[in-house]
Chains A and B, each alone.
Chain A
Amino acid sequence: MIVRILAEGQFDLSEDAVSALNELDAKVESAIGAGDDAAFHDALSALLDGVRTAGVPHDAEALDASDLILPMADATLAEVKDMLSGDGLIPG
């Protein structure tokens, strides 16, 4: 699977590796649900680290769409909420 971390690029991960990250994923979700900024930041960092560790950078010249897109490392809780609500993600 191809996973994009916004502002960082694409990574190739095996299906298993992606499944293994589900636990970290759940932590991010619950932090968003709870509106807990600090927990969100920690959980997102852990999830992105997991992607970077388990994945290898996808061919820079490939024009492939990603299967999964994750927020950038310094995204704030408010930004991610905005994106999920469909507002203000991409300018223009």
Chain B
Amino acid sequence: MSMWQRFSLIFRSKANKVLDRAEDPRETLDYSYQRQLDLLAQVRRGVADVATSRKRVELQVNQLSAQSDKLQGQAEQAITANREDLAREALTRKSALTSQIADLKTQQAQLQGEEEKLTLAQQRLSAKVESFRTRKETIKATYTAAEAQTKINEAMSGIGEEMGDVGMAIQRAEDKTAQMQARAGAIDELIASGALDDASSLNNGDDISRELEAMSSQTEVEAELARLKGGAPAPQAIESAPDAGQIVDAPSQAEQQAEPQAQAQGSTPPESGDPK
């Protein structure tokens, strides 16, 4: 016996075991039909589950891509500011994300494939279940015990094979989805922990951003200082600028200043420049 004949026999005998037989052949038909409807419902749920997982992975791809774009922007900013070290750090992080994104895209494609397979399985089973229903009614209407058993056996083995096939497709899709969900969960945790800075908090919260911001506010402070020195309308501001605490602690003094914005900017450097 060839391997595939053996394979077919094993598959069929397993598939037939799934179909319980009742005493009365007509009950067998009804019972089997119910099982078929259950399986159809199951495959529909399977399609929905896989679609949910796929969407989750898609969301992660979008999040990580946004993060990657952000790092790219930071690297450009850092280079403009002559900070090669920061640019290098940003690009290093970006390259780690790039491989993660590629991995997620592969998963996304696999889930898409499973979704399509299950959808087709659902359509095939659906067509056969409908045929079975018609056949079942015909057999019951023209029921004579002698010929019914043969007809029932024919109908049952045909549908049983399809059910076995679909059942296996669902199982495999569930297994694959479960594996990917575990990995997706791990990535969600990474994003939540801030290790992969959530891109929704653009320009906040990560050290490169903080350093770039500190640099830019430092530049703004210098520019403001230069401007104030030029016009010199408020000498106090110049004196207090290096120590913002004084301004914050002395609002009345600050209120007297002509340019309230100067204090807001002046208060930034000590906080952001604070060495960690």
Q: Which residues of A contact B (CB under 8 A)?
A: 4, 6-9, 25, 28-29, 32, 60-72, 80, 83-84, 86, 89-92
Contact = CB atoms under 8 A, between A and B. Distances in A.
17 contacts: A4-B165, A7-B168, A63-B155, A64-B158, A65-B154, A69-B8, A72-B168, A80-B7, A84-B3, A84-B6, A89-B11, A89-B164, A90-B15, A90-B17, A90-B164, A90-B167, A91-B170
A70 B3 CA distance: 10
Contacts of B168: 6-7, 72, 89-91
Contacts, number: 95
Contact of A90 (B4, B5, B18, B121): B18
B3 A28 contact: yes
B interface bracket (residues with beta carbon within 8 Å of A): 35 or more
A29 B5 CA distance: 12
Nearest 4 interchain pairs by C-beta: A63-B158, A69-B8, A65-B157, A61-B131
Contact of A65 (B5, B10, B131, B158): B158
B4 A70 contact: yes
Given A63-B128, A67-B8, A69-B12, A7 B117 contact: yes
Contacts of B131: 61-63
